Structure 1
Amino acid sequence: SVLVPMAEGSTVGDLVNTPSVNVERLLVNFADPNKEVDGARSEPSTQHPFLSDKSVREALMLASDRQTVADQLYGPAGKATPNILVAPEKFASQNTSFEFNLDKAKQTLDAAGWTGSPRAKGGVPIKILYQTTINPLRQKTQEIIKQGWESIGVPTELK
């Protein structure tokens, strides 16, 4: 209503409406939170016992139901995406993709030697501490993600 006269009367440029550039994402700690180096934990010089394995990260991605998060928590404004840069659309990568596939996630872990329930390899168990801010939307996201991860044999504690 307010924008229509501006759009119709402009001779200088185009009025463009783009979706929000805000995205929610998970950040992965690649360092070992259990190993102490000079009095500090999670030092970059250490490797995380299981998140340093690309197969584990891939399985977690496959077990993360982004579409349900978008649909249930964000409604029509939500869009599941593998990208950090989502707008303007011409800058969003067309070379990235994601899928929600629990069977493929389990197969990925099995093939990499992470077996059992809970999953473990060489005596190292996969157990995730998933932390976020106190925010109802993020906490609901955590619960959706936790469901997928636990269904592939990855115990997940939420904080």
Structure 2
Amino acid sequence: MKKFLLLIAVALVVSCSTDEEDCCTIIDTGVSIKYLNGQGENLLEVDGGIDVADINIYHKINNDWVKYFRGNLDYPKGFYTVERENGTYLVVFPSTTIGESGYSETKIEFSETDFDILKTEVQKKNSSEIVTMVWYNDELKWEGNQSERLIEVVK
């Protein structure tokens, strides 16, 4: 009986070891975008600017644009706005599906004729997904994890 209890105790200790590979799940993908016009005004705050009700997000999956909508989430359309000390930002949750190019692609549609492409490099390790580089319409806007993922775009 003592051997049996010792075997169970050893099994519990081994199964509860601190395996760093399966430690945690980290999802860090949000990109905060401040849209400005030519005069430096925030287009999310001015009359005639960007109306967030018109915005739709599409993820590129298997070379097809798939409209993002998840009704069970806090932000079902894949974005929200946030007030910061220097203005309003659109926070977009980009696709984490890696395409043939090695990057994920997300279309931000403002109207039927106006859209921009957000391309991201996503580091996937164990159960974590972290955006490490951001391009907006093929212009590198952010890289590294040394600062918040904040970018400005002139439209």
User: Same fold per TM (> 0.5)?
Assistant: no
Bigger relative CO (Cα 8 Å, ≥ 6 apart): 2
Bigger Rg, which one = 2
* TM-score normalized by the length of structure 1: 0.29
- Greater percentage in helix: 1
* TM-score normalized by the length of structure 2: 0.30
